[in-house]
Amino acid sequence: MKGKLSAALLAAAMLGLTLPAAAVSAKKETPAVKKAAAKKAGAKHGSKTANKAKANAAPGKAARHASLADSEPGRLALQSSSVLVLDQSSGEAIVEKQSDAVQPIASISKLMMAMVVLDAGLDLNEVISIGEEDVDSLKGTTSRLSVGTTMTRETALLLALMSSENRAASALGRHYPGGLPAFVQAMNRKAATLGMSRSHFEEPTGLSSNNVSTAHDLARMVAAAARYPEIRHYSTTAEAQLELHGRIREFVNTNTLVRSDNWEIALSKTGFTAEAGRCLVMQAKVAGKPVVIVLLDSNGKMTRVGDANRIKRWMESANSSVVNARRST
């Protein structure tokens, strides 16, 4: 459900960018719910398909078309190469599929970027600028944030988390004390602190295929990022209107599910590069449970959304079966 993002939130936080009151805000943080037992779904590997392996993908990566099976309510087929659904109340894995495979994570990296910025206690109202150094020379992606655009650190965080703006994320790293090298070191130190032993970061945007992790490590990162109100808020903001160079531009969330009334999402981040495929991580409430969902290397623009919806329907169906069984006794 959409909410309104107050004009006052960013009006004082921007120079050269203004935010009208019509912009849509994030959803509230999902409260913790009672602990519930969940059955772990077993991963079933599908056969490899010719020419499906991606360049620079992590070694040992299984074929894309694999299935997850569970005795009740039936077969759960997911197209993402790596999957983890974690019950945050119990810490138990509800669904797993190649959850320890090391692979590129694309813009999921921006959650670590945001934590490092906020951990530093930097002034969110300080004005930073987009420079030539922020232009993507790795993948050649474009941006509506032209060189010379100025904004507050808070606005840059919003755009990086909501719309996955690479130039905003790069500028945040450059304007860190000690510059980009110190920022990347801080990202890797934070990962080590969180116990992300199979993760590595090379830059803040996720454009580099050397930004790698596993589904298990990312579940740790999502749980940690969800403790930051700013990250929860910005990553689930549905849309915002900003004035850029005299024109009003609309920025939308890269995760369409945050605009769905059927989902209760507390934190969200998408990612995409040719090497990483389509990725999605979320903290959400599903079937009355607070869960972390990690979907990596989905093939097809809507596959990660489809997998998320399949997981949600499967959990709701299983929960309904349990409730009905209890009532019958």
**Catalytic positions, please?**
107, 110, 164
How far is residue 230's CA from residue 258's CA, in Å, rounded to a whole number?
A: 16
Rg (CA), the chain: 20
Residues 316/287, Cβ–Cβ less than 8 Å: yes
Residues 245/216, Cβ–Cβ less than 8 Å: no
Which helix (DSSP H) or strand (DSSP E) does residue 11 occupy?
Answer: helix 7-11
Q: Strand 67-69 relative to strand 103-104: parallel, antiparallel, unpaired?
A: unpaired
Locate tokens 């909410």: which residue?
3
How far is residue 13's CA from residue 222's CA, in Å, rounded to a whole number?
A: 26
Locate tokens 């719910």: which residue?
33
Question: What's the half-sphere exposure (Cβ side, CA atoms, 13 Å) at 136?
Answer: 19
Residues 163/145, Cβ–Cβ less than 8 Å: no
Locate tokens 């606005």: which residue?
155
Q: Among 108, 99, 142, 103, which Cα is nearest to 270's? A: 108
Give the 3-state secondary structure percentages of the chain, helix then strand then coil, rounded to 5.
Answer: 30, 25, 45
Residues 232/226, Cβ–Cβ less than 8 Å: yes
How far is residue 32's CA from residue 289's CA, in Å, rounded to a whole number?
A: 8
Q: Which amino acid is at 121?
A: G
Angle at which helix 153-162 crosses helix 109-119, to 10 degrees, equals 160
Locate tokens 């969330």: which residue?
253
